[in-house]
Amino acid sequence: MAADKKMVEQITSMDVDFAKWYTDIVKKADLIDYSSVKGCMIIRPYGYAIWERIQSILDSRFKELGHENIYMPMFIPETLLNKEKEHVEGFAPEVAWVTHGGEEKLTERLCVRPTSETLFCEHYANIIRSWRDLPKLYNQWCSVVRWEKNTRPFLRSREFLWQEGHTMHATAEEAIEETVTMLNVYADFHEQDLAIPVIRGRKTDSDKFAGAEATYAIEALMHDGKALQAGTSHYFGDGFARAFGIQYTDRENKLVYPHQTSWGVTTRMIGGIIMTHGDDNGLVLPPAVAPIQVVIIPVAQHKEGVLEKAREVEAQLRAAGIRVKLDDSDNSAGWKYSEYEMKGVPVRLELGPRDIEAGQCVLVARHNREKTFVSLEGIEKAVQDCLESVRNGMYQRALENRESRTYNCTTVDEINAALAANGDGFVRAMWCGDEECEDKIKELTGVGSRCIPLQGEAISDVCACCGKPAKHLVYWGKAY
């Protein structure tokens, strides 16, 4: 090992201090650095590469469904923001305002976008005239600003990256279908590509997006039993269209209002990956979004033929479309093992003189550290199979964590007993639909409503709080 190199630093155990464990990972895996602006983060190249992978996959799926990318200004005039009262009231506490341009005070304050519904509506009012102009299926990749009081890298920051879809449709039925379709796009992406199982559901009225008629969400459960809202999709009805005067002439030549949706996911997903899959050795990245899917570690690389064979294997894997890195630095093999475990690389390929002589190499899966000896002949297929096995193993482990931390309860007392005995997790309990009971359950147990699952379910006939007839099964939990 080179004299100026250290073994990778240890991170705090998640069982000792989960919050510190999380912070250690985002810093030591080179995902972020802190900036001089409180609550804002610098996303370092490795962290941004993960976001680029997320962006690439989702952008492709959006376009397959007919969505087009667009870009809106980052500033919103105050008069424009105020056109939809319920919407602006929902965001008012988090809005950042621009009051001066250079040395001059602006005649009207400009909001730094917390979201872009109003900007899209202003544009739609200018371009939608006829039923032939619909649907409008737009998406924007950008950053937004929300002046959060309590921040944590990726999970909650004052500026964050996201995509926001904004669509207009001729009928309520079409808009509702879009809302649910996009929720399912997010859910499938989380489960297939991020290996994170999610609950698909609808938010209660008290928890829906400001200005929406209905908000749908996917909820994931983290290592520590807390929930993470991992994506949302909103149906606005024609409320924004009426507020902004967006009308079109329908097929019967009548002037009517279109129906609107919006949907989005953010860099919060990276925090979700960390807290779902990470361990005490660092990141564990799903192969689909890992910047490096396979790292080749040449063992005894100073010996004749080792680096040459490693480069040959690297070229084979790259030609097969696998994201591969050969680390031929002068650090020891042990240092490299620790480094790439910290960075969550899904598969490590070890290759030394004896392996080359035997025509084989060693594959080590990051999520469970299992070693497999495979032939160098057909190495591409072996690595691809290993990557698929890693994804499946990660998903299964996350699912087992969620299932073991999901409790069916019929009363408030049962909720408290389950949480006291087992720790945080999802609580499944019935609800009458009364907001007072929703608030009372949170007050008495500490868990709030997360979502009403889309598939109709019931575990009893009465509300867990008041004992009156129940309308919905609700997933309850503490949340990030």
For residue 282 the two structure tokens come to 């660092």
Mean pLDDT confidence for 373-392: 97
Q: Give the span between the Cα atoms of 351 and 360, in whole angstroms.
A: 8
Once rounded to an integer, what is the mean pLDDT over residues 43-48? 98
What per-residue confidence (pLDDT) applies to 1?
38
- In the block, residue with structure tokens 């079109």: 248
Query: Which pair of tokens denotes residue 245?
Result: 């005067």
Cβ atoms of 293 and 287 within 8 Å: the answer is yes
Q: Is the pTM of this model over 0.85?
A: yes
Q: Among candidates 414, 410, 420, 428, which has minimal Cα distance to 199?
A: 428
Strands (E), 102-153: 104-112, 136-145
Predicted pLDDT at 390? 98
pLDDT tens digits, 185-244? 999 999 999 999 999 999 999 999 988 999 999 999 999 999 999 999 999 999 999 999
- With H, G, I as helix, E, B as strand and everything else as coil, classify residue 205: helix
- Per-residue pLDDT of 140-166, as tens digits, reads 999 999 998 899 999 999 999 999 999
Task: Report whether 326 contacts 377 (CB < 8 A).
Answer: no
Q: Which residues of 76-102 are buried (b: 16+ CB within 10 A; e: fewer)?
A: bbeebbbbbeebbebbeeebeeeeeee
Can you list the alpha helix ranges (DSSP code H) found in 211-342?
Answer: 239-244, 268-277, 306-319, 333-342
Q: Which residue has the tokens 């590469």?
A: 49
- In order of start, what are the domains of the chain with their CATH numbers? 18-277 (3.30.930.10), 294-393 (3.40.50.800), 406-477 (3.30.110.30)
When pLDDT is averaged across residues 316-327 and rounded to a whole number, the result is 98
Helices (H), 169-260: 172-188, 239-244
Does the structure show a pLDDT above 90 at 78? yes
Please check whether residue 348 is in contact with residue 357, taking contact to mean a CB–CB distance below 8 angstroms.
no
For 92-135, write each residue's pLDDT tens digit: 889 999 999 999 999 999 999 999 999 999 999 999 999 999 99
468/462 Cα distance (integer angstroms): 5
Report the chain's mean pLDDT, rounded to a whole number: 95
**Residue 221: is it exposed, middle or buried by C-beta count within 10 angstroms (0-12/13-18/19+)?**
buried
Q: Please report where in the chains the tokens 């979004």 appear, as a residue.
A: 289
Whether pLDDT at 281 is above 70: yes
pLDDT at 468 over 70: yes
**H or E stretch including 76?**
strand 75-77
Residue 162, token pair as written in the block: 């996201």
Return the DSSP state at 153: T
Per-residue tokens: 126: 């200018």
Percent of the chain, pLDDT > 90? 93
Q: Token pair for residue 440?
A: 């009372």
Let me know how long the chain is: 480
Judge whether residue 453 has pLDDT over 90. yes
Residue 5 has pLDDT above 60, yes or no: no
Residue 8 pLDDT: 56
The confidence score (pLDDT) of residue 93 equals: 86
Reported confidence tier of residue 35, pLDDT bands at 50, 70, 90: very high
Beta-carbon contacts of 461 under 8 Å, excluding residues fewer than 6 positions away, are 430, 469, 470
360 pLDDT higher than 90: yes
Do residues 313 and 379 lie in contact, with contact meaning Cβ atoms separated by under 8 Å? yes
Is pLDDT of 456 > 90?
no
271 in Cβ contact with 173 (< 8 Å): no
Helix extents (H) in 320-411: 333-342, 353-358, 379-404
Cis check: omega of the bond before 135, within 30 degrees of 0: yes
Rounded mean pLDDT of 282-293? 98
Residues 347 and 369: their CA atoms lie apart, in Å, by 9
- The pLDDT value given to residue 4: 38
- Distance, CA of 29 to CA of 344 (rounded, Å): 8
From the list 239, 238, 262, 261, the residue with the least C-alpha distance to 250 is 238
| Residue 274, CA atoms < 13 Å, CB-side half-sphere | 30
Residue 7 has pLDDT above 60, yes or no: no
